[in-house]
Structure formats: C-alpha cells, structure tokens
Amino acid sequence: MTDETKDYLDSIEPILGRVPYAITLSDLTLPDQPLIYMNRQFFEMTGCDANYLGRNCRFLQSDFDNEDSRAEIRRALSAGERTQVVLQNRRMTGEAFYNMLYIQSLGPVGPVSNLAMGAQFELAETEALTVLRDAKATKMWGIRTRSVLDHGLRIRLEQRRTVMESTIRVLKSWDVMHRIKTGTLLKG
Ligand SMILES: Cc1cc2nc3c(=O)[nH]c(=O)nc-3n(C[C@H](O)[C@H](O)[C@H](O)COP(=O)(O)O)c2cc1C
C-alpha cells in the first residue's frame, strides 16, 4: 500500500469508524483485490484484525463453497455494479455465520483508482434462508416475491442498505472536498 493510500485511509477512519455496521474497502486495481481497510465493527463481527489486510476477503469463506454468491460478486465487480448476496462465513473462532454482503465498486476514490466497498450484515439462519428463497424465486420467475420476507427483516435490510448508500455518498463528498482543498479537483 502506498503512503498516499495510507494517509487517505487514516483520514477517512473518523467517518467509517463511526458507521454502526461492518465496513471493508478493497483495492480492485491490485492483484486479487486485497482488503485495504476494515472498521472496528468488522473486527467485532469476524475477529479479523489488521493482520488480515492485504488478503482477499474470501478467507472468511473457509471451507464453504458459496458458488452462486461468488459468481454474482465477480459479475458485479467486473461490471462496476452494486449487488447483495448471502454468504456462509466463519469467524476467526471457527464459528459459522450467515453474512449478507452489500458490495459496490466505486471507481476512483482518493488515491485508489478503483475502490470497492463492502458492508457485512449478520443474519440469523432462518433470516438467511428466507432471503435466499426470495432471491431464488425472483431468479426463477422474474418477479420479486418480497411478501415472503418478514416485515421486520425487510425494514432492517432496507435500513442497512440506506446506511451503506449514505456512507458511499459521504465518502464521495469527502473526496470532492479533499480535491478542492488540495487543488487537485480539475486534475483528476
Ligand atoms: C470490499 C469487499 C468486501 C468483501 N467482503 C466479503 C466478506 O465479508 N465475506 C466474503 O465471504 N467475501 C467477501 N468479499 C468477496 C470476496 O472477496 C470475493 O470477491 C468473492 O469470493 C468472489 O471471488 P472468488 O470467486 O475469486 O472467491 C468481499 C469482496 C470485496 C471486494
């Protein structure tokens, strides 16, 4: 990681460290898209500390296959789109959990020319299976069968998606302000 990237990550820590959910950033321009940032909430959820920076986040999948979700992540990242998938992950203790991952490639942000943000939300097994059933029905029949999602779960998922979208807007605004301050807005 360059000094410039390190300075950038230090400067956004006061923002991302306060988001009430787990957030990670990966540099999509580096080989195997390594994790370059994790917030405290991600550490609390997974038990991973800064020693895991520099590795692709798939290490959380351990022995799980997650084939469909992984294919969807690869598709979205290469198309520059956002997506959300359910993955089976393991904490550093070995305990399995369901991770609803919101992921989006943001293009150039700060000194990173293609940055991706991931937001990890733990789901209980019954919630994860409901979300997976809903996604499967949508894929098979081309309709959103949102009615199978419990009302409370749907509200929580929407709230989390809103927090992620707001965080992305804050990151992008921060970037513009920083470029104005350093006089680099028109250069990049
Ligand atoms: C920003 C970001 C965060 C990610 N977070 C997770 C995660 O929390 N858990 C996980 O299993 N995979 C996560 N991934 C997905 C994997 O890193 C990888 O992209 C996925 O497994 C598909 O690639 P593969 O088939 O080569 O493994 C994340 C990816 C990115 C870019």
DSSP string, the chain: --HHHHHHHHHHHHHHTTSSSEEEEEETTSTT--EEEE-HHHHHHH---GGGTTS-GGGGGTT---HHHHHHHHHHHHHT-EEEEEEEEE-TTS-EEEEEEEEEEEEEETTEEEEEEEEEEEE-HHHHHHHHHHHHHHHHHSS--GGGS-HHHHHHHHHHHHHHHHHHHHHHHHHHHHHHHHT-TTT-
Per-residue pLDDT tens digits for 15-43: 899 998 999 999 999 999 999 999 999 99
Q: Check residue 178 and give its pLDDT.
A: 80
Pocket of ligand 1 contains residue 119 by CB under 6 Å: no
| Residue 75 lies inside a defined structural domain of this protein | yes
Residue 104 lies in a domain: yes
Instruction: Kindly state the average pLDDT of the residues 113-127.
Output: 94
Question: Cβ(91) to ligand 1 under 6 A?
Answer: no
pLDDT number for residue 142: 55
Q: Determine, yes or no, domain membership for 48.
A: yes
Residue 101 maps to a domain: yes
CATH number at 166 reads 3.30.450.20
Kindly state whether residue 187 falls inside one of the protein's structural domains: no
Q: Which residues contact 79 (CB under 8 A, 6 or more apart)?
A: none
171 CA to middle of ligand 1, Å? Answer: 21
pLDDT for 156 equals 87
Predicted confidence (pLDDT) per residue in 122-162, tens digit: 999 998 988 888 777 666 655 555 555 678 888 888 888 89
Full residue range of the structural domain in which residue 177 is found: 3-182
- Is 73 touching ligand 1 by the criterion CB < 6 Å? yes
| CA pair distance 120, 19, nearest whole angstrom | 12
Would you say residue 94 lies in a domain?
A: yes
Q: Name the token pair of 64.
A: 């799980």
Query: Does any domain span residue 188?
Result: no
Neighbours of 65 (CB within 10 A): 9
Cα(first)–Cα(last) distance of the chain, in Å?
20
Confidence of residue 74 (pLDDT cuts 50, 70, 90): very high
Is 54 among the domain residues? yes
pLDDT at residue number 183: 79
Mean pLDDT value across the chain: 89
Pocket mutation for ligand 1, best pick of 21, 25, 41, 56 (most atoms within 8 Å of C-beta) = 56
Quote the pLDDT of residue 144.
55
Quote the pLDDT of residue 147: 52
Could you give the number of structural domains in the chain? 1
- Within 10 A of 3 (CB to CB), how many other CB atoms are there? 8
